[in-house]
Structures are given as structure tokens and as C-alpha cells.
Homo-oligomer: A and B are copies of this chain.
Amino acid sequence: MSRPPKPIIRSDIAYSTPDRIVVRGKDLPNEILGHMNLGDFALLQLTGNTPTREQSAMFNAILITLVEHGMTPSAIAARMTYAGAPESLQAAVAAGLCGLGSVFVGSMEGAARMLSEALPKPAEDADLEQIARDTVAAYRARGATIPGLGHPLHKPVDPRTPRLFQLAAENGMAGNYVRLMKLIGAEAERVSGKSLPINATGAAGAICCEFGFPWTIVRGFGVMARAIGLVGHLMEEAQKPMAVEIWQRIEDEASAHLRGDVRADAVRRSA
């Protein structure tokens, strides 16, 4: 009844008029199409700023790193969904994205969170070594895994990491967050005595901090990139399907012990 005056609902991203479509202040047909690539436009959509050449190179590389990881649970979920609803391809992509949570893209988000909380402003003169020691000590004290380190398959080195850091260096984005990530990795190896190379999500998480992104959006980069990868999987699934075969194998194996009981029962009853 006596609600305060309505807040205005307002978005600064885009608008249309009969003869114009404007995104982030740029005319889509004339200033964007043919002038930008998809990764550049993603950065414009997110930040409102046209990327520099260096930002373009770096952000495209990070997103590409996240597109495709083989026959992941995400790809399997998308393919199973497509088998049931091929007319709803968008829902198959959505199903595949739903699982990009704490386990699979969480470590990129976790690395970005760790770094941005440890170094809220990318100050030039921070004592990064001390921050690295404190950070590792804090994670160990509460028994938590340090995000962005180690990989079950890629040993002793995640081959994406040196390349991402090389691109960061070439593009002027190897600042304090990248340095801190490396120092944390070294400190974690020192105190644990284990080989803990920085993995791709650790490298990407650090570079996202260099861009100034809040850690809460970093998961979204994995989500947008993987959407591309999943469409690739669904195109293959349409041509060379595997979902029904997977289903039958799992159904057969998962309930074998139950069906076995029945047959045994039937034998007993017929005896």
C-alpha cells in the first residue's frame, strides 16, 4: 500500500530503435559487425569498454582455453539430454551448463577469489611473498585445498599454464595477481613437499584478476566458453550418436544385481 516510490528498472547494456541497435554505446551493424571478433565483443558486453589489442589477445585466449575439455560430465549430460529432446537443442546446452559448479569450474572461481581477497587492490608495492605465505598458511590451517594448483592428468606441468602466462607477459598483463599466483604455487610446494604446478584454471583465474573482474563473475567465463564447446558436441551427437549406447550399458549394469535376484527367485519358485 504505502510502498516507497518504485525503484527504476534500468539496464545500461543495449537498446533498439526502429533503425538502430546499440550495444554499450556502439552501433551494432556499423561499429561492431566486421570490426570485432567474438571474444572482443564479449569483453565489450561485460565491461562497456572496447578492448585494446592486448586485452583482445588475452581474453580470447582465456575463453578458448575453457571451451573444450573432451568427454566431460557436462558433455555427457548435454548428449543424454539431446537424445531425449533433439527438438530442444537449447535445453541440451542448458543441461550441460548446469553442472559447471564447484567441482569443475570452481577452481578458476576459487583462484580468482583467493587472489582478489588476498590483494584487494593490485598495489605496486605489496609484499607479495608475505601475502603468499599468509595465504597458503590460512588455507592449510583450515584444511582447505588451495585452488588452481595440481591436476590429476596433466603432470608434471599443465601445458596450458606456461602458454597463458607467456601470453600474459606479451600483452602486459603479467602483473601482481599473476606474480602472486606463482608465489602461492611455489610456497604450497615448499610447505607440502609435493609437486603442485599451477593448472589452467589457476592461470586463467589470476589473469581474470589482472583484468579487474570481480571473482563472482569468473565462473561465467567458463560457462559462456563451454556453451560453444557443447554445441560442438551436440553437432557430433546428431551425426554419430553415443547417448543411447551409454544409456543401455549403464542401465544393464546398474540393475543387473536386481534383475539377477528376480531370476534366482523365479528359479527357486519354479523348483
Report which A residues bind B (CB closer than 8 A).
3, 6-23, 28-30, 32-34, 36-42, 45-46, 56-57, 60-61, 63-65, 67-74, 76-78, 80-105, 153-155, 157, 159-160, 162-164, 166-167, 170, 214, 216-217, 219-225, 227-236, 238, 240, 242-251, 253-259, 262
Q: A29-B160, A45-B232 are in contact. Are A103 and B84 (CB under 8 A)?
A: yes
Chain B residues, Cβ within 8 Å of A34: 57, 61, 163, 166-167, 170
Dominant SS at the A interface?
Answer: helix
Chain B residues, CB < 8 A from A69: 14, 16
29 interchain pairs, CB-CB under 8 A: A10-B257, A11-B242, A11-B255, A12-B240, A15-B258, A17-B259, A20-B262, A28-B160, A29-B162, A37-B56, A70-B255, A72-B247, A72-B251, A74-B84, A76-B80, A76-B247, A77-B80, A80-B99, A83-B103, A85-B99, A85-B102, A87-B88, A88-B88, A89-B219, A93-B227, A95-B95, A220-B231, A223-B227, A246-B250
Contact (Cβ within 8 A) A13 B70: yes
Closest partner residue, chain B, to A45 (CB atom): B232
Contact of A163 among B15, B29, B102 (CB under 8 A): B29
Is there an interface contact between B88 and A90, defined as CB atoms closer than 8 Å? yes
